[in-house]
Structure 1
């Protein structure tokens, strides 16, 4: 017998995570992005990361088309960016008030994020309702600051 959906959600709310915005750009779909908390490193050599994206997310279609994406790790002052990219607005609206530039592969790199990792897709694995997308990091930009965290359904910040 598996755990209920409600119990599973309650359990995962007790896991504090960083907040990222995953972005991509393709000729077919233009610039796209979405808030993602399911992100992890995979390998140091070669440098690889993974993100988990719901199969229904349009940003996933863009990544599938372009085979490139960026993971932008948000800083503590970017709660509004997280909310903007979490849905409820068009892709165009998500990028309107967010400072960004095109990376080496053309994907949007958020200028104010704590870290931006530009990746090429090397593998895509289906798991339940999501795709696990593994990317090899082609470029990395690190900035100063502290990360935005998500815990128990709300945003949190590190305290010194």
Structure 2
């Protein structure tokens, strides 16, 4: 087994699986369990590689088991409107529920990580469960994951 050196104190690091991490942003809530990290004897933690956080978020967004609600279609340049992707009805008001799904996300050179994602949803009059537009889902997931990573006290880079 190869070890790397802690960037803060030069002590050897060992692989670590983090417990439950949670983050939220604009109604998007994420729970991550078993995220791989490196830890030194002085308690400094970091990700396995500098690219790991972004790669992990991209894997989450690509997992079809996590985002099952259909994203709303956003129209309008100045006055943004959200429309049902099935019937085109304008969705007015605030979301009135949550769509929560759990999946395991594959991580290179490590065991899969358990992720639970909750997104705000609204029921259209046609019966379709609709969530935020795709760009807002992506932004919300990225920021909620960043907040979860921050809660583990892992410095960036």
- Identify the structure with the greater strand proportion: 1
Whose Rg is larger?
2
TM range (shorter): under 0.3
